[in-house]
Protein backbone atom coordinates (compact mmCIF):
# COMPACT_ATOMS: atom_id res chain seq x y z
CA UNK A 1 0.00 0.00 0.00
CA UNK A 2 1.30 3.45 -0.83
CA UNK A 3 0.12 6.33 1.26
CA UNK A 4 -0.41 9.80 -0.08
CA UNK A 5 2.70 11.56 1.14
CA UNK A 6 2.72 14.43 3.62
CA UNK A 7 5.32 17.17 3.45
CA UNK A 8 5.35 19.27 6.61
CA UNK A 9 7.37 22.45 6.97
CA UNK A 10 8.50 23.23 10.51
CA UNK A 11 9.45 26.90 10.55
CA UNK A 12 10.53 26.67 14.21
CA UNK A 13 11.07 30.15 15.72
CA UNK A 14 11.74 31.87 12.42
CA UNK A 15 9.87 34.38 10.34
CA UNK A 16 8.31 37.83 10.41
CA UNK A 17 5.13 39.28 8.95
CA UNK A 18 7.09 40.48 5.93
CA UNK A 19 9.18 37.32 5.40
CA UNK A 20 6.19 34.99 5.88
CA UNK A 21 4.22 36.76 3.19
CA UNK A 22 7.07 36.48 0.70
CA UNK A 23 7.62 32.79 1.50
CA UNK A 24 3.97 31.71 1.37
CA UNK A 25 3.29 33.65 -1.83
CA UNK A 26 6.32 32.02 -3.44
CA UNK A 27 5.06 28.59 -2.38
CA UNK A 28 1.60 29.33 -3.77
CA UNK A 29 2.99 30.59 -7.06
CA UNK A 30 5.60 27.89 -7.48
CA UNK A 31 3.59 24.81 -6.62
CA UNK A 32 1.20 22.85 -8.68
CA UNK A 33 -2.21 23.87 -7.33
CA UNK A 34 -3.02 20.17 -6.96
CA UNK A 35 0.25 18.55 -5.85
CA UNK A 36 0.56 14.79 -5.57
CA UNK A 37 1.11 15.09 -1.81
CA UNK A 38 -0.39 16.91 1.17
CA UNK A 39 1.51 19.98 2.33
CA UNK A 40 1.34 21.68 5.73
CA UNK A 41 3.12 24.72 7.12
CA UNK A 42 3.74 24.55 10.88
CA UNK A 43 4.24 28.20 11.74
CA UNK A 44 5.01 30.08 14.97
CA UNK A 45 1.80 30.68 16.93
CA UNK A 46 1.76 34.50 16.58
CA UNK A 47 1.55 34.10 12.80
CA UNK A 48 -1.29 31.58 12.63
CA UNK A 49 -3.84 34.27 11.72
CA UNK A 50 -1.61 35.75 9.07
CA UNK A 51 -0.76 32.44 7.43
CA UNK A 52 -4.37 31.22 7.74
CA UNK A 53 -5.39 34.17 5.54
CA UNK A 54 -2.51 33.64 3.11
CA UNK A 55 -3.24 29.93 2.54
CA UNK A 56 -7.05 30.24 2.48
CA UNK A 57 -8.60 28.21 -0.35
CA UNK A 58 -5.23 26.79 -1.38
CA UNK A 59 -3.63 23.34 -1.23
CA UNK A 60 -1.48 24.44 1.74
CA UNK A 61 -2.73 23.38 5.18
CA UNK A 62 -1.93 25.17 8.41
CA UNK A 63 -0.15 23.54 11.33
CA UNK A 64 1.04 24.38 14.82
CA UNK A 65 4.42 23.45 16.33
CA UNK A 66 2.95 22.48 19.69
CA UNK A 67 -0.36 22.22 21.54
CA UNK A 68 -1.25 22.25 25.22
CA UNK A 69 -2.28 19.01 26.89
CA UNK A 70 -4.87 21.06 28.82
CA UNK A 71 -8.20 22.25 27.47
CA UNK A 72 -8.33 25.72 29.12
CA UNK A 73 -7.60 27.62 32.27
CA UNK A 74 -4.64 28.86 34.29
CA UNK A 75 -1.80 27.74 32.01
CA UNK A 76 0.05 30.93 31.16
CA UNK A 77 1.61 30.86 27.72
CA UNK A 78 -0.12 27.70 26.55
CA UNK A 79 -2.27 27.29 23.44
CA UNK A 80 -5.20 24.89 23.55
CA UNK A 81 -6.23 22.66 20.68
CA UNK A 82 -9.58 24.43 20.38
CA UNK A 83 -7.82 27.80 20.10
CA UNK A 84 -5.65 26.39 17.31
CA UNK A 85 -8.76 25.00 15.66
CA UNK A 86 -10.21 28.54 15.65
CA UNK A 87 -7.39 29.47 13.28
CA UNK A 88 -8.00 26.57 10.93
CA UNK A 89 -5.09 24.49 12.22
CA UNK A 90 -5.23 20.94 10.84
CA UNK A 91 -1.98 19.46 12.18
CA UNK A 92 0.07 19.97 15.35
CA UNK A 93 3.62 18.78 15.89
CA UNK A 94 3.90 17.16 19.32
CA UNK A 95 7.00 15.94 21.10
CA UNK A 96 9.55 17.57 18.83
CA UNK A 97 12.99 16.82 20.24
CA UNK A 98 13.53 20.53 20.90
CA UNK A 99 10.42 20.50 23.13
CA UNK A 100 11.58 17.34 24.84
CA UNK A 101 15.08 18.74 25.35
CA UNK A 102 14.47 22.39 26.24
CA UNK A 103 11.02 22.18 27.79
CA UNK A 104 11.28 18.91 29.63
CA UNK A 105 8.46 17.19 27.77
CA UNK A 106 8.17 13.57 28.80
CA UNK A 107 6.69 10.68 26.83
CA UNK A 108 3.56 11.05 28.99
CA UNK A 109 3.23 14.78 28.22
CA UNK A 110 3.63 14.07 24.53
CA UNK A 111 0.93 11.39 24.68
CA UNK A 112 -1.43 13.79 26.48
CA UNK A 113 -0.75 16.50 23.89
CA UNK A 114 -1.54 14.06 21.09
CA UNK A 115 -4.81 13.24 22.86
CA UNK A 116 -5.67 16.93 23.22
CA UNK A 117 -5.07 17.51 19.51
CA UNK A 118 -7.15 14.49 18.51
CA UNK A 119 -9.93 15.65 20.80
CA UNK A 120 -10.23 18.87 18.81
CA UNK A 121 -9.99 17.17 15.43
CA UNK A 122 -6.36 18.17 14.85
CA UNK A 123 -3.92 15.57 13.52
CA UNK A 124 -0.92 15.24 15.82
CA UNK A 125 2.47 14.76 14.15
CA UNK A 126 4.14 12.72 16.89
CA UNK A 127 7.93 13.03 16.85
CA UNK A 128 10.23 10.26 18.02
CA UNK A 129 13.98 9.89 17.66
CA UNK A 130 17.20 8.95 19.36
CA UNK A 131 20.18 11.12 20.27
CA UNK A 132 23.65 10.36 18.94
CA UNK A 133 24.68 8.92 22.31
CA UNK A 134 21.64 6.61 22.26
CA UNK A 135 22.39 5.48 18.70
CA UNK A 136 26.03 4.84 19.57
CA UNK A 137 24.92 2.83 22.60
CA UNK A 138 22.72 0.66 20.37
CA UNK A 139 19.53 2.01 21.98
CA UNK A 140 17.78 3.44 18.92
CA UNK A 141 15.09 0.78 18.75
CA UNK A 142 14.40 0.86 22.47
CA UNK A 143 14.13 4.67 22.55
CA UNK A 144 11.82 5.18 19.59
CA UNK A 145 9.61 2.25 20.65
CA UNK A 146 9.28 3.65 24.17
CA UNK A 147 8.35 7.08 22.81
CA UNK A 148 5.74 5.70 20.43
CA UNK A 149 4.39 3.20 22.98
CA UNK A 150 3.38 6.06 25.32
CA UNK A 151 1.32 7.63 22.54
CA UNK A 152 -0.26 4.30 21.54
CA UNK A 153 -1.06 3.55 25.19
CA UNK A 154 -3.08 6.76 25.60
CA UNK A 155 -4.47 7.08 22.07
CA UNK A 156 -4.76 3.51 20.86
CA UNK A 157 -8.44 3.86 20.04
CA UNK A 158 -7.72 6.58 17.49
CA UNK A 159 -4.27 5.54 16.37
CA UNK A 160 -5.36 5.68 12.75
CA UNK A 161 -5.67 9.47 13.08
CA UNK A 162 -2.05 10.19 13.98
CA UNK A 163 1.03 10.91 11.93
CA UNK A 164 4.41 9.73 13.24
CA UNK A 165 7.68 11.53 12.47
CA UNK A 166 11.00 9.76 12.94
CA UNK A 167 13.56 12.47 13.61
CA UNK A 168 16.97 11.23 14.74
CA UNK A 169 18.14 14.07 17.00
CA UNK A 170 21.67 13.90 15.59
CA UNK A 171 20.32 14.69 12.11
CA UNK A 172 18.25 17.74 13.04
CA UNK A 173 19.71 21.00 11.78
CA UNK A 174 23.13 19.39 11.47
CA UNK A 175 23.26 18.67 7.76
CA UNK A 176 23.82 15.00 8.69
CA UNK A 177 20.94 13.03 7.25
CA UNK A 178 20.18 9.47 8.16
CA UNK A 179 20.97 7.36 5.13
CA UNK A 180 17.87 6.09 3.33
CA UNK A 181 18.72 2.62 4.68
CA UNK A 182 19.11 3.80 8.26
CA UNK A 183 15.86 5.75 8.10
CA UNK A 184 13.93 2.90 6.43
CA UNK A 185 15.13 0.45 9.10
CA UNK A 186 13.65 2.57 11.89
CA UNK A 187 10.48 3.31 9.92
CA UNK A 188 9.97 -0.41 9.41
CA UNK A 189 10.18 -1.14 13.09
CA UNK A 190 7.81 1.73 13.90
CA UNK A 191 5.40 0.28 11.32
CA UNK A 192 5.64 -3.11 13.01
CA UNK A 193 4.90 -1.51 16.37
CA UNK A 194 1.85 0.25 14.89
CA UNK A 195 0.82 -3.08 13.39
CA UNK A 196 0.78 -4.66 16.83
CA UNK A 197 -1.44 -1.79 18.04
CA UNK A 198 -3.77 -2.00 15.04
CA UNK A 199 -3.07 -4.36 12.18
CA UNK A 200 -6.03 -2.85 10.36
CA UNK A 201 -4.79 0.76 10.45
CA UNK A 202 -1.00 0.45 10.57
CA UNK A 203 -0.43 0.41 6.80
CA UNK A 204 -2.28 3.71 6.38
CA UNK A 205 -0.54 5.60 9.19
CA UNK A 206 1.93 8.04 7.69
CA UNK A 207 5.47 7.90 9.06
CA UNK A 208 7.51 10.96 8.10
CA UNK A 209 11.28 11.28 8.13
CA UNK A 210 12.83 14.47 9.52
CA UNK A 211 16.41 15.59 10.01
CA UNK A 212 18.25 17.61 7.37
CA UNK A 213 15.92 16.53 4.58
CA UNK A 214 16.62 18.83 1.65
CA UNK A 215 16.08 19.26 -2.07
CA UNK A 216 19.03 17.02 -2.90
CA UNK A 217 18.26 14.03 -0.66
CA UNK A 218 14.44 14.09 -0.51
CA UNK A 219 13.72 11.87 -3.50
CA UNK A 220 15.87 8.99 -2.29
CA UNK A 221 14.49 9.15 1.26
CA UNK A 222 10.90 9.41 0.03
CA UNK A 223 11.39 6.38 -2.22
CA UNK A 224 11.81 4.07 0.80
CA UNK A 225 8.79 1.83 1.31
CA UNK A 226 7.95 3.02 4.84
CA UNK A 227 8.78 6.72 4.42
CA UNK A 228 5.49 8.50 3.81
CA UNK A 229 6.70 12.06 3.81
CA UNK A 230 8.99 14.52 5.50
CA UNK A 231 9.14 16.96 8.39
CA UNK A 232 11.41 19.68 7.15
CA UNK A 233 13.00 22.45 9.18
CA UNK A 234 15.71 24.55 7.56
CA UNK A 235 14.81 23.74 3.95
CA UNK A 236 11.16 24.71 4.52
CA UNK A 237 12.21 28.34 4.93
CA UNK A 238 13.54 28.52 1.37
CA UNK A 239 10.74 28.42 -1.20
CA UNK A 240 12.74 26.86 -4.07
CA UNK A 241 14.07 24.07 -1.82
CA UNK A 242 10.71 23.33 -0.22
CA UNK A 243 9.04 23.30 -3.64
CA UNK A 244 11.59 20.77 -4.87
CA UNK A 245 10.88 18.53 -1.87
CA UNK A 246 7.13 18.79 -2.56
CA UNK A 247 7.76 17.88 -6.20
CA UNK A 248 9.78 14.83 -5.10
CA UNK A 249 6.88 13.52 -2.99
CA UNK A 250 4.67 11.48 -5.23
P1 LIG B 1 15.91 20.23 9.89
O2 LIG B 1 14.80 20.15 11.06
O3 LIG B 1 15.22 19.87 8.61
O4 LIG B 1 16.37 21.67 9.92
O5 LIG B 1 16.97 19.26 10.25
C6 LIG B 1 13.85 19.14 11.07
C7 LIG B 1 12.99 19.27 12.30
O8 LIG B 1 13.53 19.57 13.37
O9 LIG B 1 11.76 19.09 12.25
Task: Check pLDDT > 90 for residue 187.
Answer: yes
Q: Which residue's CA lies nearest to atom 1 of ligand 1?
A: 233
Q: Which atom in ligand 1 lies closest to the alpha carbon of residue 98?
A: 8
- How many other CB atoms are found less than 10 A from the CB of residue 142? 12
Given 21, 96, 98, 153, the catalytic residue = 96
pLDDT (0 to 100) of residue 226: 97
Bridge partners (DSSP) listed for residue 232: 9
In which element (H, E) is residue 97 found?
A: helix 97-102
Q: Cβ(168) to ligand 1 under 6 A?
A: no
pLDDT (0 to 100) of residue 243: 97
Task: Check pLDDT > 80 for residue 99.
Answer: yes
Pairing type for strands 123-128 and 6-10 reads unpaired
The pLDDT mean for the chain works out to 96
pLDDT (0 to 100) of residue 1: 61
Q: What is the DSSP string of 48-65?
A: HHHHHHHHTTSSEEEEES
Q: Is 96 a catalytic residue?
A: yes
Rounded mean pLDDT of 152-156?
A: 94
pLDDT (0 to 100) of residue 71: 97
Amino acid sequence: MTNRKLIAGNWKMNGSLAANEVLVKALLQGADSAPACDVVLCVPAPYLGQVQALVADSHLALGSQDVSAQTHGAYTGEKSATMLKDFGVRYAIVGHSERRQYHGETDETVAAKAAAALGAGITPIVCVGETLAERDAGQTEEVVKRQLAAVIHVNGHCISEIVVAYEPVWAIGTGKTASPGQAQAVHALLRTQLHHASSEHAPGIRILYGGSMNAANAAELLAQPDIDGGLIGGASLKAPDFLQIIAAAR
